[in-house]
């Protein structure tokens, strides 16, 4: 009985060792698998001014769109081989002022009377971050130009703006400028306002035509409802400095001519006055009257006794 119990105990002991070994092996396998998964996963989150597109796939499988990661989202995990692309959420500006930080130099236009002028300004907009529209933008335009953000605004974003904003704006301004003469564009506020309105109409039309969809919306667009129009801010067209100088000289000549006309009118009035004076007093009387008026002759009253003392005027 004692020997049988000992044999059973040995069997149980061996079985226990096998189970323990199997458990340890499974634990090791689990750790390895988890480590492999952790090494292949990426954790992302979004800032308040950022939206991301999540794509699954890798070298051995097709790349497929998964979802949009909205602004201010917490940790999202990307699987092995997955990728994400960041785009701006909120107002953006295409600056064509020609300054150091601008996206473009000033835009040149030609007026109705064939004068070249330079125009500075900006276009303010919001990228359409409605999920399906943003996905289309990314797959049709973003990948081509690499315009997605990678730690900040990319060169691809600037190249994209130069194509989808500068070229339509250039076309719109040229078309609108052919309707006005340069002096009126430069000097007449009402004409400039008409020109701005025409540029705005054409620019919004050409931007949509170039992009092929409503990818660029009004500055306060939040992803739902009507996309709206890009807002343009345009400075006064500037002609070459030589024309500005010539215009200033022309204005100065006009002012001088006006001043001379006023002088001529004054002289004519004085001559008419002298003519009337001669008609009343005669030539000598008119000369004497003028001398008295100018203070060159002093009138001395004659006393009753008839004696007069004359003191010559000192010169």
Asked whether residue 162 carries a pLDDT value surpassing 50, the answer given is yes
Answer for the pair 310, 295: CB distance below 8 angstroms, yes or no.
no
**φ/ψ bin of 228: left (φ > 0), alpha (ψ from -120 to 50), beta (otherwise):** left
The pLDDT of residue 147 is: 94
What number is the average pLDDT over the span 62-91? 88
The pLDDT of residue 28 is: 44
Considering only residues 96 and 17, tell me which one the structure prediction assigns the higher pLDDT. 96
Asked whether residue 286 carries a pLDDT value surpassing 60, the answer given is yes
The pLDDT of residue 274 is: 76
pLDDT digits (tens, 9 = 90+) for 245-260: 766 566 656 666 665 6
Share of the chain above pLDDT 90, in %: 43
Q: Where are the domains of the chain?
A: 38-88, 90-239, 241-299
Torsion of CA 192, 198, 202, 207, to 10 degrees: 50
Residues contacting residue 207 through CB under 8 Å, at least 6 positions apart: 164, 165, 168, 169, 216, 230
Confidence (pTM): 0.64
145 pLDDT band (50/70/90 cuts)? Answer: very high
| 111: its two tokens | 């007026």
CA distances from 11 to 2, 4, 21, 24, 295 (A): 15, 11, 15, 20, 150
The pLDDT of residue 255 is: 61
Q: What are the helix and strand counts (H, E) for the chain?
A: 8, 11
Torsion of CA 240, 246, 251, 256, to 10 degrees: 160
| 115: its two tokens | 């004068």
What number is the average pLDDT over the span 218-239? 88
Query: SS3 for 109-122, per residue?
Result: EECCCCCEEEECEE
Distance (Å, rounded) from C-alpha 147 to C-alpha 138? 8
What number is the average pLDDT over the span 26-32? 47
What CATH class has 90-239?
alpha beta
Asked whether residue 16 carries a pLDDT value surpassing 60, the answer given is yes
The pLDDT of residue 93 is: 94
The pLDDT of residue 119 is: 93
| Burial label, 297 (beta-carbon count in 10 A; 0-12, 13-18, 19+) | middle
What number is the average pLDDT over the span 162-187? 92
Which of 5-19, 46-60, 169-183 shows the lowest mean pLDDT across its residues?
A: 5-19
139 pLDDT band (50/70/90 cuts)? Answer: very high
Asked whether residue 223 carries a pLDDT value surpassing 90, the answer given is no
């Amino acid at each position: 009985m004692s020997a049988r119990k000992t044999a059973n105990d040995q069997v149980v002991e061996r079985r226990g060792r096998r189970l323990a070994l199997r458990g340890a092996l499974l634990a090791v396998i689990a750790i390895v698998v988890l480590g492999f998964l952790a090494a292949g996963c990426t954790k992302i989150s979004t800032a308040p001014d950022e939206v991301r597109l999540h794509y699954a796939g890798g070298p051995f499988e097709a790349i497929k769109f998964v979802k949009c990661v909205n602004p201010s989202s917490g940790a999202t995990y990307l699987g092995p081989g997955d990728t994400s692309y960041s785009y701006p959420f909120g107002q953006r500006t295409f600056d064509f002022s020609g300054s150091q930080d601008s996206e473009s130099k000033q835009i040149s236009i030609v007026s109705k009377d064939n004068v070249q002028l330079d125009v500075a300004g900006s276009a303010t907009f919001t990228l359409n971050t409605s999920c399906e529209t943003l996905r289309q933008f990314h797959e049709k335009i973003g990948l081509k130009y690499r315009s997605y953000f990678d730690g900040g605004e990319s060169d691809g974003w600037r190249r994209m703006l130069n194509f989808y904003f500068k070229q339509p704006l250039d076309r719109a301004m040229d078309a609108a400028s052919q309707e006005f003469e340069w002096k009126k564009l430069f000097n007449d506020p009402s004409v400039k306002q008409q020109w701005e309105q025409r540029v705005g109409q054409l620019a919004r039309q050409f931007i949509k035509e170039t992009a092929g969809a409503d990818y660029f919306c009004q500055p306060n667009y939040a992803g739902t409802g009507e996309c709206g129009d890009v807002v343009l801010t345009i400075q006064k067209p500037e002609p070459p400095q030589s024309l500005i100088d010539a215009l200033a000289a022309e204005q100065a000549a006009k002012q001088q001519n006006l001043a001379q006309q006023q002088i001529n009118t004054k002289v004519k009035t004085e001559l008419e006055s002298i003519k009337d004076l001669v008609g009343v007093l005669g030539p000598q009387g008119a000369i004497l009257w003028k001398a008295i008026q100018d203070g060159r002759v002093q009138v001395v009253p004659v006393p009753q006794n008839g004696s007069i003392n004359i003191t010559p005027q000192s010169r």
